[in-house]
Amino acid sequence: MTEIFEYEFMRNALAAGLLVSVACGVIGTFVVLNRMVFVSAGIAHAAYGGIGLGYFAGFNPVLGAVGFSVAAALGMGAIERAARQRTDTVIGVIWAAGMALGILLIDLTEGYKADLMGYLFGSILAVPTFDLWIMLGLDVVIVALAVLYYKELLAISFDENFARIQNVPVDRLYLILMCMVGLTVVMMMRVVGLILVIALLTIPPAIGALFTRDMRKTMILASFLGMIFTTIGLLVSFAFDLTSGAAIILVSAVAYLAALVIRSQGRAPS
């Protein structure tokens, strides 16, 4: 199987999987511990509106996705903060409306729409080297934020009220976090596609939380798990000629089930 490293696209694919796993491990841990899974899935789907806008208006659809996902993240974040009830309905509507807008804009666009499926289901085998640098940059920003604001982010995730009383700028940090979720979602779009983003964002941290007693370790473990899942998924998809995004997600899901079984047998977290 070593011949796969001879292809540049395969080397780039593996590198993309590793880079995305770092952002996933850190941001995904916040998403899982803050119960933002539904919101994050909504952000991912709403981002499709940006893809459509990019096609329609003739600019890079990834830029459209960035704009839409960050806007959706901030909007949903603000709604969740302000309202007390029924936020899931509003989020569900933004989720579907964003997606529908994207579909209609693409309908209205003339001509051949080449890599449309790639945005929905991932196109890890077509990651240009330039994108790897962008992923690396985002990883650096995310890890730096997580290190600098670790104690505040931990406090907000565990007990927001207490953090607020201790004069932590809860709302500002929360919105920064939402922006990072939006950017991470777009970065992951390359690897597993918008539709499956949520699984790769949440499964590694969910497993990580089962086996750690410290949020920092959860993030580190989740990042490594993500790397393992993307790599195995990629190799499986290459060997059997399967869709790589779906292969990565199924590998992750099987691992999650196994982790739940192991954990229920009562092994203490370390």
Binding stretches for another protein (CB under 8 A): 33, 84, 148-149, 151-152, 154-155, 157-159, 161-169, 208-210, 212-215, 217-218, 269
CA angle 196–35–213, rounded 5-degree value: 105
Cα–Cα distances in angstroms (integers) from residue 214 to residues 104, 159, 209, in the given order: 45, 15, 8
Question: Is residue 67 a contact partner of residue 101, using CB atoms and an 8 Å limit?
Answer: no
Smallest separation, CB 22 to another protein (Å): 18
Q: For another protein, which is the closer residue by CB, 21 or 157? A: 157
CA dist 204 and 191 (Å) reads 15
Cα–Cα distances in angstroms (integers) from residue 263 to residues 157, 211, 249, in the given order: 23, 8, 21
Cα–Cα distances in angstroms (integers) from residue 213 to residues 161, 208, 216, 269, in the given order: 22, 10, 9, 6
Q: What's the DSSP call for residue 268?
A: P
Smallest separation, CB 172 to another protein (Å): 10
Q: For another protein, which is the closer residue by CB, 22 or 33? A: 33
User: Which residues, in sequence order, are CB contacts of 1 under 8 Å at separation 6+?
Assistant: 235, 239
Q: For another protein, which is the closer residue by CB, 218 or 237? A: 218
Q: For another protein, which is the closer residue by CB, 34 or 237? A: 34
Tokens 């969910």 label which residue? 206
Smallest separation, CB 255 to another protein (Å): 18
Smallest separation, CB 264 to another protein (Å): 13
**Residue type present at position 2:** T
Smallest separation, CB 24 to another protein (Å): 17
Tokens 């949520």 label which residue? 198
Q: For another protein, which is the closer residue by CB, 129 or 166? A: 166
Q: For another protein, which is the closer residue by CB, 2 or 270? A: 270
Q: For another protein, which is the closer residue by CB, 108 or 165? A: 165
CA dist 181 and 151 (Å) reads 19
Smallest separation, CB 168 to another protein (Å): 6
CA dist 39 and 193 (Å) reads 17
Smallest separation, CB 219 to another protein (Å): 10
